[in-house]
Structure 1
């Protein structure tokens, strides 16, 4: 992978993010160990996938329907639990990762590039509205029985069209994906209409802090700087963050830097010095100490593990 191509395409995402050491029987979608081809679209499950996945950025969207089991997903500055009868959306704009997937986790997934659904009669402006849900809200929706049945049936119909490939199947798949996006937006509208207790000032403050960290972690590193942007004292910000998340505010800043470091080490050909420079560390040794504090290994050891895993996957 070249140094300027660190957004994973669909086939690379599957190889790096979903393929496990042992081939698993595939009960839904493409056979990702033998049928995977580069392209604008794929439908598959997480069967045989990892229980924890490194942070990645992609050049495509993902619609992920949870059929059973659970796990923890981080998308941008949102971290949430994935549970049965929920659907979440991954956008190319966001760094994302997952952890603590249960052994029985079953996800149905549709991966597609914007260009794939652009080849329909739907205007691009409308498509963008369907795809880009509000960044201030976690991109997950817990579906009621009717919504879940409708969306599950669409996944199954898309899978059947794509697997059997009758005449005009790609055109049908595109239209069905657009229909699926409308169903997801219906669920979004329904969720907005539910009576909810307004978030208090402390929770609003913490949400604003995490959003700022997501936007400025490369250049703003201290709690005091974020407190100044939020017009509160550093002490007050730290207390509210600790109360709401159980984490120190500085830890949240450092965790975001670490996730970016892990992403760059995992998906790019940058040297350790180049990554240290990109992340604004004064020296490579400072970066290595920082990374080892979170990962338990230094960056060079992490890269050796990555290269070993890549060779194993490429030999499948």
Structure 2
């Protein structure tokens, strides 16, 4: 079976963003002379309401200055909102939908190697990038903090554009500053949150993490309940209470996300994708996919 699956790089992302700049803000790299393949700054592409699932080989730290959207990062689904900052890690598939027409995001994208070339010790960097894995990687900001971070993003953008003496060293220092500010926002959010006190929340988190790890193997609510040593009835009840969704929908949604990703980012045939996702046959996979997408896998591929 072919394994040619596309993973987005910084270079391919910049090409997708055309001039890599939001013309309304002037933020980002404004020409094609920037040749770093491990660091870039960009603003969101205006007018897009949704984005297909992608996997990157880089991290993104994203500041939302205006508007909002619904974001999926691995097993987390959450709302991006004005005056928030969130992190996208390369190990997860990510997508967005329902973006408002006024959505404005500033993004710094980088590979881990960009910072390990600095004086920052790897264990410290790992802690900064891991943040808190038990919660969605989005953190609210006060208006004052958001304004301060906006200025920091724009300073990073200016430094990348002007390429003065020692600019790579300065960019690494500024990016380290940004990661510490994001972690500070995380700590502030956790300080004012009571969700971590809930055993029910912790159990639902374990379920969603297990789905992320085992969705190709475990297919039923009963199988996940057995793995968590609880009844299927109780699992269904607490997932519904915490997320508003039933447990089977969470499982199926992860399969559908992977199917979208493989259909749009790989050279695999529909038969190969059905096999990879452990469906009995292509027909079963096509029926499953059509229930979510409204069209079959072949039609979906043609629309890309």
| TM-score under structure 2 length normalisation | 0.91
SS at match of 2:161: helix
Seen in structure 2, the aligned counterparts of structure 1 residues 198 and 140 have a Cα distance that, compared at 3 Å, is closer
Could you say which residue in structure 2 is the equivalent of 1:9? Answer: 9
CA contact (8 A) 2:263 2:297 kept: yes
Alpha-carbon separation, structure 1, partners of 2:110 and 2:99: 23
- Once the two structures are superposed, the pairs formed by residues 43-62 of structure 1 within 5 Å of their partners are 43-48=41-46, 50-62=48-60
1:170 and 2:168 equivalent? yes
Deviation at 1:184, TM superposition (A): 1.2
Say which of 215, 231, 235 aligns to 2:233. 235
Alpha-carbon separation, structure 2, partners of 1:12 and 1:105: 22
Say which of 150, 157, 160 aligns to 1:159. 157
Alpha-carbon separation, structure 2, partners of 1:50 and 1:15: 16
CA contact (8 A) 2:61 2:85 kept: yes
Deviation at 1:198, TM superposition (A): 5.0
- CA RMSD, Structure 1 to Structure 2 (Å): 2.2
CA contact (8 A) 2:4 2:268 kept: no
Unpaired segments ≥5 residues, structure 2: none
CA contact (8 A) 2:46 2:101 kept: no
| TM-score under structure 1 length normalisation | 0.88
Cα deviation code 1:22-48 (max 9, x no counterpart): x9635211248x667671111010133
Alpha-carbon separation, structure 2, partners of 1:183 and 1:242: 34
CA contact (8 A) 2:5 2:267 kept: no
Cα deviation code 1:44-81 (max 9, x no counterpart): 10133521011111000001000111111111111111
SS at match of 1:263: helix
CA contact (8 A) 1:64 1:110 kept: yes
Could you say which residue in structure 2 is the equivalent of 1:314? Answer: none
- Once the two structures are superposed, the pairs formed by residues 183-202 of structure 1 within 5 Å of their partners are 183-194=181-192, 196=194, 198-202=196-200
1:42 and 2:40 equivalent? yes
Seen in structure 2, the aligned counterparts of structure 1 residues 263 and 38 have a Cα distance that, compared at 3 Å, is farther
Cα deviation code 1:115-140 (max 9, x no counterpart): 11222111122111111222211101
Seen in structure 2, the aligned counterparts of structure 1 residues 38 and 197 have a Cα distance that, compared at 3 Å, is closer
SS at match of 2:278: coil
Could you say which residue in structure 1 is the equivalent of 2:217? Answer: 219
Question: Is 128-137 or 61-70 further displaced after alignment?
Answer: 128-137
> Between Structure 1 and Structure 2, how many residues are aligned?
301
Question: Is 7-16 or 289-298 further displaced after alignment?
Answer: 7-16
Say which of 109, 117, 121 aligns to 1:111. 109
Seen in structure 2, the aligned counterparts of structure 1 residues 51 and 14 have a Cα distance that, compared at 3 Å, is farther
Alpha-carbon separation, structure 2, partners of 1:198 and 1:274: 41
Cα deviation code 1:234-268 (max 9, x no counterpart): 12211222233232211111110000010011111
Question: Is 255-264 or 112-121 further displaced after alignment?
Answer: 112-121
1:66 and 2:64 equivalent? yes
1:277 and 2:236 equivalent? no
Seen in structure 2, the aligned counterparts of structure 1 residues 287 and 205 have a Cα distance that, compared at 3 Å, is same
Could you say which residue in structure 2 is the equivalent of 1:267? Answer: 265
Alpha-carbon separation, structure 2, partners of 1:247 and 1:300: 28
Alpha-carbon separation, structure 2, partners of 1:19 and 1:163: 16
